[in-house]
Chain A
């Protein structure tokens, strides 16, 4: 955005005002659809405001890793596709971070019991691939990607053997961690930033909460105080119950 635009956003931020008339801690509308891709074992499309990602799950047989012969694996792969950026270099800046945070948030919450993905110890296990693709980036890809990956996993069904009935992926639903992102512009905290707010922000904080706090990621060159961090965490817990309802958990 232009320097003038940035300045304007910073001025209105002082009053807690946003360009799209939201309150500082108000999220944009979320649209969730599942079953959007025929060839996947589970899929979802999530829109937060104008930001949209799609996620697809594939459950494929594979050889186990030598150090974990009885464990399957969960692999979350995020692509900030070229649909959402004019120059490839634009997406390199954020795709690595978003990808790693999404992957970590889901794997480290021990959502999947990888032991249950073992078919034949030492020989054959199942790998669960979650591929998340950006269709449009209007800010807050982190939360959108997190929700899409979870929705696709919840939607996923696979056949353990050729002739058996499809079963859901073994998820520990109690461990689901929901991510909420906040930015700080000047001294004001805003939830669910759009792209303009992200660009103007001094600092960003992403909080993943399940039962407790599962992940934190601070971005940007600004700072947060302890009180501000706790304010974000409290709001992340409130957002979590709303989003779990949408995911029908």
Chain B
């Protein structure tokens, strides 16, 4: 049984969120997204010439996504460099962003999207995807909508939103469901599940995720608005 969350949140409550764009001034676009103790920084470069050339697509842009964890982001030390987990996450981020960005506008071009996790406390792929989508918007890429991503899940018998690491490791069993949405269209762009849930619970988890994503979406938009209103002043 899991009746009271470790950090005292309500079951449908998100952790504290900070969102900021323009954190890498020399990149085309960039963003930092922090949810609780999980933080990701994303930088976007391009559209640019495709290197190496054989990746080139005649009808649309190629997205090159990199996801990496900084060595000091986890309690042990994460070895520098890309491992299999990093590659898998880069792949699912790429799939989601391919739908969000209007890649067909840039045939034979490449867009580099690099995401680093500075601190990890569960939900790193969701934070990374949210940061990446804000960075793409900051870079001025044409997009169908911003991506808002959050994890939901089931801990004991309770359906919860935005799990922490401590909750993922809950002794009574925990199921983690990372999700990502295009909020204005209701499209689900990322969906993974680890553990075991019933059909009814899955529906509840996704609905809860959708509500959470809506809140994240508002925060993303606020951050972007802030950035561009600041720019017009200076």
- Give the B-binding residues of A (Cβ under 8 A): 37-40, 43, 50, 54, 56-58, 60, 77, 79, 81-87, 89, 129, 131, 133, 135-138, 195
A83 to B116, CA, bound (A): 8
* A/B interface sample: 15 pairs, CB < 8 A: A37-B119, A38-B121, A39-B72, A82-B112, A82-B116, A83-B41, A84-B26, A86-B48, A87-B51, A129-B71, A129-B77, A131-B71, A131-B72, A131-B80, A135-B41
For the complex with contacts A37-B70, A38-B119, 18 further pairs of A-B residues with Cβ separation under 8 Å are: A39-B73, A39-B75, A39-B119, A56-B73, A57-B72, A60-B77, A77-B71, A81-B68, A82-B43, A83-B116, A84-B24, A84-B26, A84-B43, A86-B112, A87-B112, A131-B71, A131-B80, A135-B24
Partner of B74, one of A39, A77, A89: A39
**Contacting residues, chain A, for B114 (C-beta < 8 A):** 81-83
**Contacting residues, chain A, for B121 (C-beta < 8 A):** 38
Mostly, the A contact residues are: mixed
B25 on interface, CB distance cutoff 8 Å: yes
Partner of B118, one of A54, A60, A79, A84: A54
CB <8 Å contact, B24 and A83: yes
Minimum CB–CB distance for A67 against chain B, Å:
23
Assuming the A-B contacts A60-B77, A86-B46, are A40 and B27 also in contact, with contact meaning beta carbons closer than 8 angstroms in the complex?
no
Minimum CB–CB distance for B63 against chain A, Å:
14
- Give the A-binding residues of B (Cβ under 8 A): 23-28, 30, 37, 41-43, 45-46, 48, 51, 66, 68, 70-77, 80, 112, 114, 116, 118-121
Minimum CB–CB distance for A154 against chain B, Å:
16
CB <8 Å contact, A83 and B70: no
CB <8 Å contact, A37 and B24: no
A124 to B27, CA, bound (A): 44
Closest chain A residue, CB of each to CB of B49: A87
Minimum CB–CB distance for A59 against chain B, Å:
10
Closest chain A residue, CB of each to CB of B66: A82
Closest chain A residue, CB of each to CB of B81: A79
Minimum CB–CB distance for A100 against chain B, Å:
15
**Contacting residues, chain A, for B70 (C-beta < 8 A):** 37, 54, 56, 131, 133
A50 to B51, CA, bound (A): 28
Partner of A136, one of B25, B28, B37: B25
